[in-house]
Structure 1
Amino acid sequence: MPDYIKALIYVLIASGPTVFIVRRIAVPVIGEDEFLVWRNCWLATTCISFLSNSFLVFSGLLLLVCVYGFKKAREPLYLYIVLMFAAPCVSVNFGIPGLFASITALDPPRLLAVFILLPIGVSLWRDKGNRKVSLADIFAGGYVLMICALASRLGDLNSVLRACMAQFLGVVVPYFVFSRALRTASDVNRTLLAFAVAALPIAAIGTFEFLKGWPVYPGVAARWDSATGSGYLFRDGMLRASATSMISISFGFMCMVGAGCLFALKTKERFGLWHYAATAVLLAGLFASVSRGPWLGLAICVAVILSTNLKAASKFVAAAVPVGAGLALISASFIYRFINLLPFVGRADKASETYRSDLFDAALLVIRQHPWFGSPTFLKAPELQKMMQGQGLIDIVNSYLQITLEFGVVTLIFFAAFFILNAAQLAILAMRKAPKHVNYVGILGVLLSIMFTIATTSSVTFVPYIYWTFAAMGVALMRMGLGSTRQETAEPIVSKPQMRVLRAGA
């Protein structure tokens, strides 16, 4: 039996139980029929990932899956999130033979942006109200324009086109669509649900990788003639799972956001048994990443949520103490090993902490040489060459540093201002008497965890797609109006023949 068939069987077995958990959580929010579309599209995308012998074949089959989704789903917008993690996030260059060697690098999320979001975005653009520009739009647009303009320094039209296409499909399209299409509290909760649903099966697959010591997706990347990510990474003798993220910390980031969105989800259903089961799967995936940045990020998210609910905080402590004591009695060695992995207090992989500290110091020296607009050749600086690792790579494990080094302080200001503004406006909503239909505190907690965690990882694989889509949801909340409690009606907000995208708020 070929290895890729064996891997597919393991993936379907590992993720199978999560389908039942997802159904229990999703059906009360989106209905049985919509859940079936989500499930079928995810399973189809997973299967074609392993069965396609090239990225081009995968792209064609994914288009058919998206056509099915558009035809069957009442709200196809959310399929972008549901399918975002279903295939390995590796990129393949595409160009025009004889003209341009490479005008864009496509990966599964960018394909989904073309197949799902672009048609919706065109429909939304026809509404003049969606073209109104807010301060958040200015900051996000300034960031994109700076990157596109600075790409001209490469002196290569291919590079300029590649940078512009990457920003258009990775930032502009998801940001515009989600910031304009979400118009009701129900839309926001469906978005949170989509993130949790998308992360659940991948968290289970990552847990399988961790327990078996076998990454299952590098074989898919090899069949697509693409880079295979970080390969086998270990910490304290344990394999760091990566699943479709291809990089362990990106996988942990995905599980962190999925768990945070599950906590922030506001529905008529109480946080019951199936929600706890989903939480356990996501936490298992988060642990399997053995990535301390996302661990701390989720801790920040939980702290923000509990800080405004003393009753929930007391229940959390009451539940955590016996669980921790039980684990200590069952396996004291596990507790010791877990503590040893914790940042600041643990002793495992101290070299990683030293590397991050040295990288920050070296990066500041390089930034001083080109402070305002950065340098496209920053990696060649002697200060950073000293940070070369054994694999021949210089890993810029900080998204803020990554932006500043290549594109300068001006670009960083646009980027940081966008997220700070988003968080500040959510905090204003959270401090008010929040409407019962939206968990503003929970959404703020997830956003703060994202802002913290991207300081511990570069913006690779799924990471930027997650934070731009999630932040766009925050902008949508602002566009609804502070304290909005609008509910949805049956009237579609986008008129398109035979296609229902979303339903507008009254």
Structure 2
Amino acid sequence: MSDNLRTLFVLLLIGFTVQALAWPLRSETLPGALVLRRNLWFAMTVAAFALKSFWAFALVACGLLLWAGRRERNLPGLFLTLLFVVPPVETEIPGMGLVNVLFGLNLPRLMVLVLLLPAFVRLLRERRMPSGGWPRAADLLLGAYVLVQLLLAGREPSVTAALRSAFYVMVDVVLPYYVFSRALQDFGELRDAAAALVWAGLLLAAIGCFEAARHWLLYSALAQGWGSTDSLLYLGRGGLLRAMASTGHAIALGYVLAICLLLYLPMRGRLGAGWKPKALLMLLGVGLISPLSRGPWIGATVGLVLYLALGRRAVKNMLLLVVGGGLALVVLPFLPNGNLLLGLIPFFGHVEVANIEYRERLIENSSQLIWAHPLLGSGDYKERLAAMGMVQGQGIVDIVNTYVLVALRSGLLGLMCFGGFMLCVWFCAMRACKLSMLAQRRDAADFGRALAAAQLAVLVTIATASSIFVIPWVYWCLAGILVAYARVVSASVEQADRTVAPLRISPSA
């Protein structure tokens, strides 16, 4: 049996197992949506491993997406379900003699062009929901960030390179955010999109656990067979393999699972009292451990604290969290590889502290370059950092901090727009959650605090990672969901206010 077929067999087995375990999630999705998306995931997975060419897979995937797009009621949910079918490795489209390269293509970009671009055109013509307050501020900040990136495209060495950079900004940033923030127009569609991401996260968690246990990266051979330069490398920590599934990197897997874990928390109570909801929670938790990435652990912990603080019985739940964390520290040394996990715990551990020191030096050296070009950054920041001794063992300058990367590339102006946008969408969710609480809409409030917790986890985690592979795709889509949630809550509250007739006292006869 070839490696591809053996890997495909394992993935299908994992897929069927997770599908049976996660079947209760269908109550969170739109009618029939889970079946359609599940079948499409299996079909695209089979196509990816059965076909030896990326272009053959892209052709089949394009046909399947066009077919499913006409039957799908919630395109953001379909997009999130399929976002991790294969690693987002990039293959260049040749210019056919006109230019060297047209642009790089990967699965997320293909789905944007096939699914989200037609939706974008349609949404431009439709009547929009109210966009005042924080959602309006988020739109303006993103517009400013996009404008800065388009201006910086002028640094490219050729006109075609500048056009390619502008194309990437529109396809990778504008289209996902715009469609997600406008297409989700009620709570059913919002919950469906969140459940789609959680369903995909459960698959990633199961694959991550398998990879860590078997010391086998299931998607590495696929990326190499497609001839991609973004090969999935085996990374170890303390003698253990760092799982990455189809996300492209270990920290990307931890980042996605931290978000999925937090989004799943309000769903768990609605899925019933059986063993499956608890098993799903455990699967996401163990999957989060499998990449051995500290940044996502910190992000998930901070997000969990916020989620508990915004809920009922906050003090009691916080005390339970502290007690549970303390017990875990006591029990860990007695578990297999427990001492290694204990050594990886941020602020307490001692395993590979050089990575933490590298991040500290990165901030220190980058700050000098940022202040040398404070407005719009510089185009040679990598060469300057290399001259400062920031080349890692892999022979590259690894800018493992998204905020630092944005500041180096587009200056403090770009950082203010990007950071302001990320904070603004978080405030969107926080304010909408508060409005839902005041209106005594508990389900909407619980969903909102899960979104706010997930966004806070993103804000923390991207400070420890660069925006590689699936990381930016997820945070642009999540930002769109947060803004859509704020719009839906605002429209719902306004509608409720209009339907309540004022009290009138009839004059006595």
TM-score (norm 1): 0.90
Structure 1 residues 212 and 76, CA gap change in structure 2 (3 angstroms): same
Where does structure 1 lack aligned partners over 5 or more consecutive residues? 488-506
Partner of 2:416: 413
CA apart distance, 1:131: 11
| Contact 2:94-2:102 within 8 A present in 1 as well | yes
> Could you say if the C-alpha distance between residues 138 and 315 of structure 1 is closer, same or farther in structure 2, counting changes exceeding 3 Å?
closer
Distance apart, 1:266 and its partner CA:
8.4
Match of 2:22 in 1: 22
The answer to whether the 8 A contact 2:401-2:463 is kept is yes
Q: How does 1:355-370 map to 2 (within 5 A)?
A: 355-370=358-373
Q: Give distance in 2, aligned partners of 1:329 and 1:287.
A: 13
Pair 1:143–1:82, CA change in 2 (3 A): same
Look up the SS of the partner of 1:93 in the other structure: strand
CA distance in 2, matches of 1:136, 1:69: 31
Q: How many Å apart are 1:16 and its aligned residue?
A: 2.6
2: distance between equivalents of 1:382 and 1:445? 34
Query: Are 2:482 and 1:441 equivalent residues in the alignment?
Result: no
Measured against aligned partners, the alpha-carbon deviations of 1:126-177 in whole angstroms (never above 9, x if no partner) come to 1253797822111111111211220111231232122112111111111111
Equivalent residue of 1:103, what SS?
A: strand
The alpha-carbon distance between structure 1 residues 266 and 22, as it changes in their structure 2 partners (threshold 3 A), is: closer
Can you list the C-alpha shifts for 1:469-506, whole angstroms capped at 9, x where unaligned? 0011111123235373699xxxxxxxxxxxxxxxxxxx
Is residue 374–residue 405 contact of structure 1 (8 Å, CA) maintained in 2?
yes
Tell which deviates more after alignment, 418-427 or 129-138. Answer: 129-138
After TM superposition, the structure 1 = structure 2 runs for residues 169-188 of structure 1, keeping only pairs within 5 Å, are 169-188=171-190
Q: Is the 8 A contact 1:426 1:440 kept in 2?
A: yes
Within 1, Cα distance between the matches of 2:450 and 2:339? 31
CA contact under 8 A between 1:69 and 1:76: conserved in structure 2? no
Asked if the contact 1:192–1:264 (Cα under 8 Å) also holds between the matched residues in 2, the reply is no
2:220 to 212, 218, 221: 218
Deviates more, 1:42-51 or 1:125-134: 125-134
Question: Larger Rg: 1 or 2?
Answer: 2
Aligned pair in 2 of structure 1 residues 93, 385: CA closer, same or farther (>3 Å)? farther
The aligned runs of 1:5-20 (5 Å cut-off) are 5-20=5-20
The 1:316/1:229 distance shift into structure 2, 3 A limit, reads farther
Cα offset, 1:360, TM superposition: 0.9
**Structure 1 residues 104, 316: closer, same or farther in 2, change over 3 A?**
same
Distance 1:269 1:325, change over 3 A: closer
Change (3 A) 1:480 1:431: closer
Task: Look up the match of 2:143.
Answer: 141
Q: 1: distance between equivalents of 2:339 and 2:220?
A: 32
State the Cα distance separating 1:299 from its structure 2 match.
Answer: 0.5
Matched, 1:337 2:337: no
User: Once superposed, what is the RMSD of the aligned Cα atoms?
Assistant: 2.5
Query: Following TM superposition, by how much is the alpha carbon of 1:77 offset from its aligned partner in structure 2, in angstroms?
Result: 3.5
In 2: Cα distance, 1:423 partner to 1:112 partner: 26
User: One-letter code of the match for 2:247?
Assistant: S
Instruction: Give the TM-score normalised by the residue count of structure 2.
Output: 0.89
* SS of residue in 1 equivalent to 2:379: coil
The answer to whether 1:476 aligns with 2:484 is yes
Comparing 129-138 with 9-18, greater Cα deviation is found at: 129-138
Letter in 1 for 2:452: L
Distance 1:30 1:433, change over 3 A: closer
Corresponding residue of 2:293: 291
**Do structure 1's residue 247 and structure 2's residue 249 form an aligned pair?**
yes
Q: Give 1:310 shift.
A: 5.0
Alignment match, 2:229:
227
Check whether the contact 1:101–1:158 (CA below 8 A) recurs between aligned residues.
Answer: no
Which runs of 5 or more residues in structure 2 are unaligned?
496-509
Equivalent residue for 2:400, pick from 376, 394, 397: 397
1:292-307 equivalences in 2 (<5 Å): 292-307=294-309
What is the rounded CA distance, in whole Å, between the counterparts of 1:258 and 1:42 in structure 2? 18
1:29-62 deviation digits (Å, cap 9, x = unpaired): 2356222101101111211121222221111111
Q: Which residue of 1 aligns with 2:356?
A: 353
Deviation at 1:82, TM superposition (A): 0.4
Residues 212 and 242, structure 2, Cα contact 8 Å, conserved in 1:
yes
- Measure the CA separation in 1 of the matches of 2:232 and 2:111: 24
Q: Deviations for 1:442-462, whole angstroms, at most 9, x for unmatched residues?
A: 211111111111101000100
Report 1:63-78 matches (<5 A).
Answer: 63-78=62-77
Query: In the alignment, does 2:425 pair up with 1:422?
Result: yes
Q: Secondary structure at the match of 1:110?
A: helix
Aligned length: 486
Deviations 1:281-320 (A, max 9, x none): 1122211110000011111111011113353764686597
Distance 1:72 1:288 in 2: 36
- Give the distance between the partners of 1:362 and 1:256, measured in 2 at CA: 30
Asked whether the 8 Å contact 1:105–1:166 carries over to 2, the reply is no
Paired residue for 1:497? none
Shift of 1:323: 11
Q: In 2, Cα distance between the equivalents of 1:51 and 1:486?
A: 52
Native 8 Å contact 1:206 1:288 kept in 2: yes
Q: CA separation in 2, counterparts of 1:37 and 1:486?
A: 35
What displacement does 1:275 show?
2.3
Letter in 2 for 1:29: E
Name the CA shift for 1:216/1:116 in 2 (closer, same or farther; >3 Å). Answer: same
Percent identity between matched residues is 28
In structure 2, the residue matched to 1:2 is 2
Instruction: Find the partner of 1:466 among 448, 468, 474.
Output: 474
Separation in 1, partners of 2:248, 2:271: 35
Partners of 1:322 and 1:423 in 2: CA distance? 26
Aligned partners of 1:82 and 1:369: how far apart in 2?
43
> How many Å separate the matches in 2 of 1:263 and 1:348?
31
Matched, 1:114 2:113: yes
* 8 Å CA contact 1:422, 1:475 repeated in 2: yes
Inter-partner Cα distance in structure 2 for 1:356 and 1:402: 12
Q: Distance in 2 between matches of 1:129 and 1:309?
A: 31
Paired AA for residue 260 in structure 1: L
Of stretches 52-61 and 258-267 in structure 1, the one that deviates more from structure 2 is 258-267
Q: 1:47 to 1:135 in 2, by over 3 A?
A: same
1:75: Cα distance to partner? 2.9
Partner of 1:343, secondary structure, is coil
Quick check: 2:77–2:194 contact (8 Å CA) kept in 1? Answer: no
Q: Residues 326, 428 of structure 1: CA spacing in aligned structure 2 closer, same or farther, 3 A cutoff? A: closer
Is the 8 Å Cα contact of residues 245 and 462 (structure 1) preserved in structure 2? yes
| Contact kept in structure 1, 2:81 and 2:199, CA below 8 Å | yes
Residue type of the partner of 1:373?
A: L
